[in-house]
């Protein structure tokens, strides 16, 4: 064999091996809120350790109660990488105030990780995530911001947040903003919270010009945009805008609309658009959040049959399991559509190619919601059988982050394919790398 050819083959092999060795295959929580006590003081003392001899009494119904204790985050095999979402106040009116609130939260997390550096580390770049994953056993924390209200007013603003290590912005949150319209969830409380948006004419509830500019500024700074919480028309206009500029979208915690038909849920067309644009979708993990609502007959009949067979407890881990498996099947069946290759099937893809079709998860602990109810016992659907061993998630529900590992163990026992979830960590880092290293492709681009 020609020496030069042999040399090139050797270099290619080493490069491929290095790339494989650097990949990340683990459970990554796309967002928790350890600093909710900063914008909303009733969440208590914030992200702290509790006395192991006096653990807090926590239940799955904890909408306004702190459950993000450091004890549950460290050495957590159910969430090795955790995105810490800093949150803006829905009523903020001044950019200076908005910036101050977010900086206080970022600093709180940074200080905590520094004070507990044997267990925690903040990764401010995708390269740091890879390094800490492969060279330490620490819980890796990544920064994000949920709600961009008053925060992105120029390219310099976006670059400032990139310098703080912010990986993505959820552009909209619970109320309409200068960037566009937020989904109004059913219920009096959420309607009153975003009353102006609820009363706005449907044709006016889209992505604003400033929203388009903000997405470009963020991309130019190397920051991803999260579509979560967008009103349907806003999301569709955002996806169309991202397609024009070839900006990969991220969706961290909205449901599959065919199963949960609410204003925030994502329909099949938009799911395909997210993956066609090389993006990533993650599901909320709360079974309460994932219960069927206005599902299509196909999915409703499926769940009805499972309930009749005693195999589905609505609002428990079963609701997450059902939506995750159905979304997985939908995405994998549509690989030919997404890739524009009518002959290609998911099974024909290499492991590296399958990463593109990962599905993430987001627990949203302290994020204004309760979590999965128990399957068994008084709060569950079925009686506890004497002598039978259960996972804690079945008996307690998802009461706190420390029970994530129990959820994954249970699903593995039930032969659920968790590889798309574990691939999502690698896919997230790949996307962050793309934004960080290729931001010049969006430089000087106008909306």
> 307-330: per-residue pLDDT in tens?
999 999 999 999 999 999 999 999
Range of lowest pLDDT (43-57, 114-128, 393-407): 43-57
**Among 404, 255, 423, 386, residue whose Cα is nearest residue 326:** 255
Give the model confidence (pLDDT) of 38-89 as tens digits. Answer: 998 888 888 999 999 999 999 999 998 999 999 999 999 999 999 999 998 8
Q: How do strand 280-284 and strand 250-251 relate by DSSP bridges?
A: parallel
| pLDDT (mean) for 104-132 | 98
Task: Classify the phi-psi angles of 211: left when phi > 0, otherwise alpha if psi is within -120 to 50, otherwise beta.
Answer: alpha
Least confident of 26-40, 88-102, 237-251: 88-102
Domains (range + CATH), the chain? 26-439 (3.20.20.140)
| Residue 373, C-beta contacts closer than 8 angstroms, at least 6 positions apart | 60, 287, 288, 313, 315, 316, 379, 380, 397
Mean pLDDT of 352-368: 96
Cα Rg of the chain (Å, integer):
22
Could you tell me how far CA 431 lies from the centroid of its own chain?
13
Cα(325)–Cα(411) distance, rounded to whole angstroms? 11
Count each helix (H run) and each strand (E run) in the chain, helices first.
Answer: 18, 9
With H, G, I as helix, E, B as strand and everything else as coil, classify residue 141. strand
DSSP, residue by residue, 305-361: HHHHTT---TTSHHHHHHHHHHHHHHHHHTHHHHHT-TT--GGGS-HHHHGGG-EEE
For residue 123, give the DSSP letter: -
pLDDT at 189 over 60: no
The residues near 420 (Cβ < 8 Å, ≥ 6 apart) are: 328, 354, 357, 358, 359
Of 187-196, 275-284, 331-340, the range with the lowest mean pLDDT is: 187-196
Q: CA 264, CA 184: separation in Å to the nearest integer? A: 8
pLDDT digits (tens, 9 = 90+) for 265-290: 999 999 999 999 999 999 999 999 99
356, 332 Cβ separation under 8 angstroms: no
Helix (H, G, I), strand (E, B) or coil at 382: strand
d(CA 324, CA 364): 16
Beta strands 139-146 and 81-87 are: parallel
pLDDT at residue number 20: 44
Q: Is the pTM of this model over 0.85?
A: yes
Helix (H, G, I), strand (E, B) or coil at 158: helix
């Amino acid at each position: 064999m020609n020496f030069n050819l042999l040399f090139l083959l050797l270099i290619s092999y080493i490069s491929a091996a290095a790339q494989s060795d650097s990949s990340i295959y683990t459970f990554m929580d796309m967002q928790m809120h350890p600093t909710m006590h900063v914008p909303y003081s009733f969440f208590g003392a914030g992200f702290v350790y509790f006395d192991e001899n006096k653990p807090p009494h926590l239940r799955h119904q904890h909408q306004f109660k702190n459950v993000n204790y450091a004890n549950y985050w460290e050495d957590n095999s159910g969430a090795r990488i955790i995105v810490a979402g800093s949150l803006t106040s829905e009523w903020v009116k001044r950019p200076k105030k908005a910036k101050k609130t977010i900086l206080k939260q970022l600093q709180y997390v940074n200080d905590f990780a520094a004070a507990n550096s044997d267990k925690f580390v903040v990764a401010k770049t995708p390269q740091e995530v890879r390094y800490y994953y492969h060279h330490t056993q620490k819980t890796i924390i990544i920064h994000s911001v949920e709600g961009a209200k008053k925060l992105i007013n120029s390219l310099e603003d976006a670059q400032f947040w990139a310098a703080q290590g912010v990986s993505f912005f959820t552009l909209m949150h619970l109320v309409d903003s200068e960037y566009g319209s937020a989904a109004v969830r059913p219920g009096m409380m959420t309607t009153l919270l975003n009353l102006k948006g609820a009363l706005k004419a449907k044709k006016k509830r889209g992505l604003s010009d400033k929203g388009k500019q903000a997405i470009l500024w963020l991309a130019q700074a190397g920051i991803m945009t999260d579509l979560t919480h967008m009103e349907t028309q806003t999301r569709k206009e955002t996806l169309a805008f991202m397609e024009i500029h070839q900006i990969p979208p991220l969706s961290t915690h909205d449901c599959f609309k065919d199963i949960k038909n609410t204003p925030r849920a994502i329909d099949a067309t938009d799911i395909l658009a997210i993956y066609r644009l090389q993006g990533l979708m993650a599901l909320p993990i709360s079974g309460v959040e994932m219960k069927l609502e206005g599902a299509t007959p196909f999915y409703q009949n499926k769940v009805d049959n499972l309930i009749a067979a005693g195999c589905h407890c609505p609002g428990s881990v079963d609701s997450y399991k059902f939506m995750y498996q159905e979304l997985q099947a939908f995405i994998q069946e549509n690989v030919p559509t997404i890739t524009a290759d009518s002959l290609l099937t998911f099974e024909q893809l290499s492991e590296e190619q399958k990463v593109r079709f990962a599905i993430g998860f987001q627990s949203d602990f302290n994020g204004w919601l309760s979590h999965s109810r128990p399957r068994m016992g008084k709060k569950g659907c079925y009686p506890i059988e004497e002598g039978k061993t259960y996972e804690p998630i079945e008996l307690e529900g998802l009461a706190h982050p420390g029970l994530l590992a129990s959820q994954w163990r249970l699903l593995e026992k039930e032969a659920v394919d968790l590889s798309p979830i574990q691939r999502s960590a690698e896919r997230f880092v790949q996307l962050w790398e793309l934004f960080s290293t290729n931001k010049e492709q969006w430089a000087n681009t106008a909306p």
